[in-house]
Amino acid sequence: MSDQSPATLLDSLGGGLVSMATADVGRSREKARTRRWVKLTFAVWAVVTVLLARAATMSPSSSLLPVPHLDPAYVMIGLFFGVMILVVVLQFVMTGKSPHVIYRPDQLSTRLDDVVGIDGVKDEAIKTLNLFLAHRTFADAMGGKPRRGVLFEGPPGTGKTHLARAMAREAGVPFLFASGTQFVSSFQGASSRKVRSFFKALSKVALKEGGAIAFIEEIDVIAAARSGVSTAMTPMTPMSSTVAASCSGTLSLPAAYGQAAPGLVTNGFTGGSDTSSIVNELLVQMQSFDRLTGGQKLLGKLIDKINLMLPLGRQLRSPQAVVPNILIIAATNRASSLDPALLRPGRFDRKIGFELPAKSARRELLDYFLSTKAHKEELDDERRDALAATTIGYSPAMLENLLDEALVFAVRRGDKAMTWADVEHARMTIEVGVGQPVEYTDHERRLIATHEAGHATMAYLTAPDRRLEILTIIKRKGSLGLLAHGDKHDVYTRSRSEMEALIQIAMGGQCAEEIFFGDVSTGPGGDLLYATNCAAEMVGAHGMEKSLVSYLAVQNSAFSDTNIVGRVLADPEGRQAVEEVLQKHKQRARELLTENRHLVEALRDALLARHELLGREITEVLDTARATPRTIDLRAQDQVSS
């Protein structure tokens, strides 16, 4: 086996992945393998020596191995009590057995080359893995303390488990996988025993194999903050995350007729049952990796007995515990809910954040997924760029699911490869649901078409940077009709004019109903909720109106609601400011639609004829209507003004 000097090994830590064969893990594994062969050789020779000695001294009529003669009655009684004792012992042992599953490196097919779209996270993972592989050199040559715990935090489907498996595969060490829910037991004390058994098994495997990597999924289940323990103060939520959750999704459901929009998403967390005993055990085990082996314990007891009879200056040295090379990776979606003692140095002190992929990362992921999925040649670079641009907010798991759904549509067509139309159909089904035709009355159909045309026309006039995706009067996801629209590019912050445009788009449906029918239906309820959320953000969080006071700073009982919308609306002055913003932008939307009612009419008639318009079909109708000379209907204008 090739060796590598400590200096050379340390120089290579800052580059790519260190070779496992030349790192400390490989050397430790070779030493352990040599010790096992020596022990096996001594054991075999001991047995052979005993058998040869017995064969030399035995009489010709006796057998080589002694065969005891037992009474059958005693055998049956012994078996009965043995089974009873075994059942009791197994019941106790099984309730505290570690729930992990061990995967050998060759059982893991995921490598670091399969981790795409998260280059920054991948680089940090390689650096962590290099320290794991060169743990002894890092400690002896530099005096550093090897990293033991890493916390992966991020939304679901962003690749946390995927990266952990790749790290274990590249390290060439066993991978112990467990879920936080598997440690929870209804038996008193069983959960803590499971935690102890898990770490005991982890240390045992690491000593045998030169190292081991453990992965605990959803660790917040067993590591939530204990009662009476204050969590560390987290930084204030940036504007982009709050606004994006309420006002900038790829699919604008608040522009749907007859559907209520979701409120603002907050990062509050309500604790569940008390898990103090499990957390305490987890904290102790994270700090207690240095355990004596069984042989070391026996030798230590023997040395202690001998030292009792020896003078102080001549006492024998007890065996020293060997610290196993262990890396524990934990994953969670809610790091803020974890007990702060678990995040201190020496435990999970390194936090690696996983984010939803940007456009360039989504393009890399699409190339990776399509390399193994059957597709037509029309899914070329241009189409892939377009798909990467339209899948804002998609996680890697969602992108793969999108392509799998496209393959399902291809199979239904009797084809063996997906087309661009299959991908578009799959995306529409995932984002806005399966179409459920409803037999509207003529008045309802015309009302819904006018309402949705008002939304689309306002988006066309006030937000040219937004992408109009789907305009439909077919019932989907509980909405009788909807406009799906999103940003053309990844957006991390919004200007005041963009927020105002979103409010005006939401008001477009109600204004169109008032202009063309002189009445308002129940359809705009979700639009008003969406517009109110945006206006409350402007007034109470971002200082976009008259007041610069942030309602996020209010802590008295009158404003105890953690939702920014609730805080703003509970304040009479804030509520009045929101009302003024909504009234102002509704008036602006009404004026624009009145001036461009021919655009609404053209889009309404296209919807009534085709029921659903996709992408370019929407803008083509509007561009054609805008370029066509129009006849001013003075009677209609007089009716509106009156």
Return the active site residues: 452
Query: 372-411 burial, b if ≥16 CB within 10 A, otherwise e?
Result: eeebeeebeeebbeebbbbbbbbbbebbbbbbebbbebbe
Q: At 487, which helix (H) or strand (E)?
A: strand 481-487
Which tokens hold the place of 572?
A: 């009479």
Q: To which H or E segment does residue 554 belong?
A: none
Residues 6+ apart with CB under 8 A from 163: 115, 118, 121, 122, 125, 152
- Beta strand extents in 502-635 (DSSP E only): 612-614
Give the Cα separation of 329 and 147 in Å (integer). Answer: 11
DSSP state letters, 303-366? HHHHHTTS-GGGPPPPPPPB---EEEEEEES-GGGB-GGGGSTTSS-EEEE-----HHHHHHHH
Spell out a b/e string for 598-635, using b for 16 or more CB atoms within 10 Å of the CB, else e: bbbbbbbebbbeebbbbeeebeebbeebeeeeeeeeee
Which H helix or E strand runs over 482?
strand 481-487
SS3 at position 61: coil
Asked if residues 605 and 453 have their Cβ atoms less than 8 Å apart, the reply is no
Where do the DSSP E strands lie in 63-165? 101-103, 149-153
Burial of 291 (0-12, 13-18, 19+ CB in 10 A): middle
Pairing of strands 481-487, 466-472: antiparallel
Give the residue from 440, 437, 362, 435 showing the smallest Cα distance to 402. Answer: 362
Residue located via tokens 């962003």: 158
Please tell me whether residue 484 adopts helix, strand or coil conformation: strand
For residue 204, count other CB atoms closer than 10 A to its CB. Answer: 14
Please state, as a whole number, how many other Cβ atoms lie within 10 Å of the Cβ of residue 506. 31
What is the C-alpha to C-alpha distance for residues 58 and 40, in angstroms, rounded to an integer? 27
Contact assessment for residue 387 and residue 139, using Cβ atoms and an 8 Å cutoff: no
Rounded to 5 degrees, what are φ and ψ at 210?
Answer: 85, 0
Q: Most distant CA pair in the chain: distance in Å?
A: 128
Kind and range of the H or E run holding 93: helix 72-95
Return the structure tokens found at 63: 């057998």
